[in-house]
């Protein structure tokens, strides 16, 4: 039973519930209008230049107008954070417009350059979007991990907000529940006992292509029950609830209950007359039916039968306020109608459907909007402008409070100490660097948080976790240790722990990194998140990784082992395409060091980069192959070159016409081939590439600067390769797709022979697999010989 409507804490006591309801309903009406008009304007009013449909989702907006109005105009507080379903973007912008946080100009430019974004965007929208959405399911999922991160920040005393925990809210489409990542997140949330989480399902029973399965609500109920959420169903609005006690009331509600989703939608679209016909036939003989039908004309019958709670402000407020003081995760299943209040309501094809100009004109008239007053915040409403202005000024969500924090940066040394040892793998060295960081009690170490999807130990994070412990809201000792069962792993769970152990789902890893990587801004807690996984499974979490970068979360993803170098594991675990992913994701700097002194410098650089305003995230592609380490001590300039993406391991003789460029674990093959080549080409160069990504990005940027008139612009790679002769041959090699380095030829006039992995691999040892893929010493020598011969021709 829902709680009665009541005022919430901190709200103006003078404001009476009835009055509030009336004004909120007015605002809801305005929001419905503005969202519809924003889309209409973009499609039908604003001049089109390319003949392309602009699009927008009037029906998806209408479906969510009541729920979002209730949330933003009454229920939410400034420290709550929200993911709004992508297709309700115009509703969000309309609400922010009314609250003075969005401009009319941006609404007019909806979906145009610089205007309000198609889908809410944390980085591109001007009106303080908390979580970007677009790829359905991910915005929902990230709220769950944000609640975990909020707890982490609070329990580590790092959060800026003193006003208690905020709610992490998702206003989601019902079809988002088809996305697997939702269920992966739910299970993980259950394990971590997440709190202060609200998922509001806009249960319009329609997706893009049509109407969803009947009885879906039962499944929803049981999914959420299973993981300990409280489920609140908002089904009938107040008018239908009242009708229950009138003539044929119970029968009517039962008929709606049993009505298949597609029939209910179709009748909603057709109108009151269609409902009447069906009720007459299907409830024939029901006592009171005649009285019920006779007391309504078609319009009012339609209003009655479509009075679902998700469009009934009073019911919505009751449900939300009824749950307000409970920190248990809440799922609200709000029955709605896609296109409610529009001529598109209920039609199965309405997802991308737009009102045509005639329909819009009629809708505008029904909204009492005079010509020229389309953007007026108050036109067509019954409440007086002063009253509405006063109400909007008092909206709790809009109270003067910092919603985007800015946590100070943590100092990071120039480089971390280089792990000692003559033969080491980068993965092993990563573990040692983290282990050493864990030992001191530096400020830096206190702000690092690690996470891994069940590969903590196998990616060498064990040492860090032994010292820093696992994060858990509930303390739990290491039972194996207490029972004196010998193990090198010490897994104590506590609120102080600095490692978030996840189940295997890589989507969850990247959504956790997304939430951790925004914590400085969301909660004022500067965290330096480091997440480990096996490189091939970047593909598994790719959309979430992309999503994290899209909203400018800052993290370090350490992917190991990688490539075919993990040879015996076979084709299913050998990653080929990940270097190209590293290069092509914006705001992500991909590195593939071969040696551990490079790694130590890159990790320190990365932790600085993660904190810079115009920085980004970092992806380290590491290996389990132990390499003999060079005996050297890096200078600042060396480290600078390493972090810029490349250096000459052996500089070429000036004007020399041959060089080998390698990245990562194939260094020994490149070195061996280079040593052999020196007999024939004494000045041949050997280029160590540590980041194909930064090298490439900076090269493109320099080209753009030159095109813009800066003649002095020169990139690091141009300086390096400029030491070669014109037309020099370049053999590139890495354990990854050859396109990663093949572009080097275009940096100057160079002929590239690009070696790399193009085919799925199979189980074998390194000599076999390198030979199979043509990245061994012989293949490099063959490519160099062929390149030299081609030059002579």
Which of Mg ion, ligand TPP, none binds 135 (CB below 5-8 Å, type-dependent)? Answer: ligand TPP
Residue 253 to residue 20: CA distance in whole angstroms:
28
Residue 721 to residue 724: CA distance in whole angstroms:
6
Which of Mg ion, ligand TPP, none binds 762 (CB below 5-8 Å, type-dependent)? Answer: none
- Contact between 265 and ligand TPP by CB under 6 A: the answer reads no
Please identify, among the stretches 21-29, 80-88, 586-594, 708-716, the one whose residues bind ligand TPP according to the rule CB under 6 A: 80-88
Which of ligand TPP, Mg ion, none binds 87 (CB below 5-8 Å, type-dependent)? Answer: ligand TPP
Task: Write 581-587 long-range contacts (CB < 8 A, 24+).
Answer: 581/538, 581/539, 581/542, 581/545, 582/619, 582/621, 582/692, 582/693, 583/692, 583/693, 583/696, 583/740, 585/545, 585/546, 585/549, 585/619, 586/549, 586/550, 586/616, 587/549, 587/550, 587/552, 587/616, 587/617
Whichever of 36 and 59 has its CB closer to Mg ion, that residue is: 59
Give whole-number Cα distances, 470 to 451, 456, 488, 507, in Å. Answer: 9, 11, 15, 20
- Contact between 68 and ligand TPP by CB under 6 A: the answer reads no
Q: How many CB atoms lie within 10 A of CB 730?
A: 27
Q: Which of 45, 112, 208, 572 binds ligand TPP (CB under 6 A)?
A: 208
Q: Which of residues 127-146 bind ligand TPP (CB under 6 A)?
A: 135-136
Whichever of 58 and 427 has its CB closer to ligand TPP, that residue is: 58
Cis peptide before 657 (omega within 30 of 0): no
Q: Smallest distance, Å, CB 225 to Mg ion?
A: 22
Collapsed DSSP state (helix, strand, coil) of residue 186: helix
Give whole-number Cα distances, 230 to 64, 77, 180, 216, 322, in Å. Answer: 21, 21, 21, 17, 12
Question: Residues interacting with Mg ion, by CB under 5 A?
Answer: 173-175, 204, 206
Whichever of 174 and 501 has its CB closer to Mg ion, that residue is: 174
Q: Which of 41, 89, 206, 428 binds ligand TPP (CB under 6 A)?
A: 206
Q: Smallest distance, Å, CB 407 to ligand TPP?
A: 31
Q: How many CB atoms lie within 10 A of CB 286?
A: 17
Give whole-number Cα distances, 456 to 156, 355, 482, 566, 646, in Å. Answer: 21, 53, 21, 17, 30
Please identify, among the stretches 204-212, 243-251, 366-374, 641-649, the one whose residues bind ligand TPP according to the rule CB under 6 A: 204-212
Please identify, among the stretches 23-31, 70-78, 170-178, 782-790, the one whose residues bind ligand TPP according to the rule CB under 6 A: 170-178
- Contact between 342 and ligand TPP by CB under 6 A: the answer reads no
Residue 178 to residue 418: CA distance in whole angstroms:
47
Say if CB 669 and CB 775 are below 8 A apart: yes
Which of Mg ion, ligand TPP, none binds 60 (CB below 5-8 Å, type-dependent)? Answer: ligand TPP
For ligand TPP (CB under 6 A), the number of binding residues is 18
Whichever of 339 and 756 has its CB closer to ligand TPP, that residue is: 339
- Contact between 202 and ligand TPP by CB under 6 A: the answer reads yes
Q: Smallest distance, Å, CB 544 to ligand TPP?
A: 11
Residue 60 to residue 128: CA distance in whole angstroms:
21
Closest residue to ligand TPP, Cβ-based?
173
Q: Kindly provide the residue ranges of all beta strands, DSSP E only, lying in 272-382, ordered along the sequence.
A: 330-335
The DSSP result for 354-412, as a single string, is: ---HHHHHHHHHHTT--TT-TT-SSTT-SS-HHHHHHHHHT-GGGSS--SS--PPPPP-
Residue 122 to residue 550: CA distance in whole angstroms:
9
Please identify, among the stretches 206-214, 262-270, 317-325, 605-613, the one whose residues bind ligand TPP according to the rule CB under 6 A: 206-214
Query: Nearest-5° angle of CA 70, CA 356, CA 114?
Result: 60
Say if CB 293 and CB 279 are below 8 A apart: yes
Q: Smallest distance, Å, CB 85 to ligand TPP?
A: 6
Residue 583 to residue 738: CA distance in whole angstroms:
13
Q: Which of 70, 169, 175, 596 binds ligand TPP (CB under 6 A)?
A: 175
- Contact between 63 and ligand TPP by CB under 6 A: the answer reads yes
Question: Which residue carries 């993980």 as its tokens?
Answer: 188
Q: Smallest distance, Å, CB 310 to ligand TPP?
A: 11
Query: Nearest-5° angle of CA 275, CA 279, CA 284?
Result: 165
Which of ligand TPP, Mg ion, none binds 314 (CB below 5-8 Å, type-dependent)? Answer: none
Q: Which of 87, 468, 540, 573 binds ligand TPP (CB under 6 A)?
A: 87
Please identify, among the stretches 184-192, 203-211, 384-392, 578-586, the one whose residues bind ligand TPP according to the rule CB under 6 A: 203-211
Q: Which of 338, 520, 554, 773 binds ligand TPP (CB under 6 A)?
A: 338
Q: Smallest distance, Å, CB 660 to Mg ion?
A: 56
Q: Smallest distance, Å, CB 175 to ligand TPP?
A: 3
Name which of 514, 486, 487, 488 is nearest 500 in CA terms: 514
Q: Smallest distance, Å, CB 350 to ligand TPP?
A: 9
Whichever of 215 and 443 has its CB closer to Mg ion, that residue is: 215
Q: Site residues (CB under 6 A) for ligand TPP?
A: 60, 63, 85-87, 135-136, 173-176, 202, 204, 206-208, 338, 351
């Amino acid at each position: 039973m829902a709680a009665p409507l009541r005022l919430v804490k901190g709200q103006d006591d003078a404001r009476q519930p009835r009055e509030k309801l009336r004004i909120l309903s007015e605002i809801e009406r305005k929001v419905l209008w503005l969202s519809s008009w924003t889309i209409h304007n973009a499609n039908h009013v604003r001049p089109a230049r390319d003949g392309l449909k602009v699009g927008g989702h009037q029906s998806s907006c209408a479906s969510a107008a009541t729920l979002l109005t209730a949330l933003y105009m009454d229920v939410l507080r400034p420290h709550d954070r929200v993911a709004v379903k992508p297709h309700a973007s115009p509703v969000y912008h309309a609400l922010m417009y009314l609250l003075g946080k969005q401009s009319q100009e941006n609404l007019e430019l909806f979906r145009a350059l610089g205007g309000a974004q198609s889908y809410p965007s944390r980085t591109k929208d001007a009106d303080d979007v908390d979580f970007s959405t677009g790829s359905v399911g991910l915005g929902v999922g990230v709220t769950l991990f944000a609640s975990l991160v909020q707890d982490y920040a609070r329990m580590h005393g790092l959060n800026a907000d003193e006003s208690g925990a905020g709610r992490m809210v998702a206003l989601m489409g019902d079809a988002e529940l088809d996305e697997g990542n939702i269920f992966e997140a739910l299970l993980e949330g259950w394990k971590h006992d997440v709190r202060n989480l609200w998922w509001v399902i806009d249960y319009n029973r329609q997706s893009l292509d049509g109407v969803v399965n009947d009885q879906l609500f039962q499944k929803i109920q049981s999914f959420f029950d299973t993981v300990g959420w409280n489920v609140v169903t908002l089904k009938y609005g107040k008018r239908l609830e009242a009708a229950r006690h009138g003539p044929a009331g119970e029968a009517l509600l039962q008929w709606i209950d049993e009505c298949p989703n597609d029939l209910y939608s179709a009748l909603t679209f057709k109108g009151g007359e269609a409902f009447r016909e069906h009720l007459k036939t299907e409830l024939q003989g029901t006592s009171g039916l005649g009285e019920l039908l006779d007391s309504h004309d078609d319009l009012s019958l339609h209003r009655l039968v479509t009075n679902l709670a998700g469009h009934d402000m009073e019911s919505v407020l009751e449900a939300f306020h009824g749950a307000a003081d409970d920190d248990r995760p809440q799922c609200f299943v709000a029955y709605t109608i896609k296109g409610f209040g529009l001529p598109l309501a209920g039609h199965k094809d309405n997802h991308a459907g737009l009102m045509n100009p005639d329909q819009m004109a009629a809708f505008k008239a029904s909204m009492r909007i005079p010509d020229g007053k389309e953007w007026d915040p108050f036109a067509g409403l019954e409440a007086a402008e002063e009253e509405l202005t006063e109400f909007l000024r008092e909206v709790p969500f809009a109270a003067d409070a910092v919603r985007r924090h800015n946590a100070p940066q943590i100092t990071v040394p120039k480089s971390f100490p280089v792990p000692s040892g003559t033969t080491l793998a980068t993965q092993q060295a990563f573990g040692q660097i983290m282990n050493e960081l864990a030992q001191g009690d530096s400020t830096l170490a206190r702000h690092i948080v690690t996470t891994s999807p069940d590969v903590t130990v196998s990616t060498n994070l064990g040492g860090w976790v032994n010292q820093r412990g696992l994060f858990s809201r509930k303390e739990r000792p290491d039972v194996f240790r207490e029972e004196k069962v010998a193990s090198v792993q010490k897994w104590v769970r506590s609120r102080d722990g600095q490692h978030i152990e996840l189940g295997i789902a890589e989507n969850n890893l990247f959504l956790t990194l997304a939430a951790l990587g925004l914590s400085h801004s969301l909660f004022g807690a500067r965290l330096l998140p480091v997440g480990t996984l096996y490189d091939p499974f970047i593909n598994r979490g790719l959309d979430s990784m992309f999503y994290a970068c899209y909203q400018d979360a800052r993290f370090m993803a350490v992917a190991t082992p990688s490539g075919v170098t993990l040879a015996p594991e076979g084709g299913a675990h050998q990653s080929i395409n990940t270097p190209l992913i590293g290069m092509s994701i914006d705001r992500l700097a991909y590195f593939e060091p071969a040696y551990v002194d490079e790694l130590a410098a890159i990790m320190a650089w990365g932790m600085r980069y993660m904190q810079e305003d115009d920085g980004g995230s970092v992806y380290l592609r590491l290996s389990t192959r132990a390499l003999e380490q060079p005996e050297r001590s890096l200078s600042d300039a060396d480290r600078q070159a390493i972090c810029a993406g490349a250096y000459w391991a052996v500089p070429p003789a000036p004007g020399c016409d041959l060089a080998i460029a390698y990245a990562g674990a194939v260094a020994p093959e490149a070195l061996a081939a280079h040593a052999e080549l020196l007999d024939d080409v004494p000045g041949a160069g050997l280029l160590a590439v540590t980041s194909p990504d930064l090298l490439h990005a900076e090269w493109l940027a320099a080209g753009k600067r030159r095109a813009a008139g800066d003649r002095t612009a020169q990139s690091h790679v141009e300086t390096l390769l400029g030491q070669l002769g014109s037309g020099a041959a370049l053999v590139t090699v890495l354990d990854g797709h050859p396109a990663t380095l093949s572009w080097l030829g275009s940096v100057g006039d160079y002929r590239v022979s690009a070696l790399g992995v193009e085919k799925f691999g199979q189980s074998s040892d390194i000599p076999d697999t390198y030979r199979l893929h043509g990245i061994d010493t012989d293949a490099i020598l063959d490519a160099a010989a062929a390149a030299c011969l081609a030059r002579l021709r």
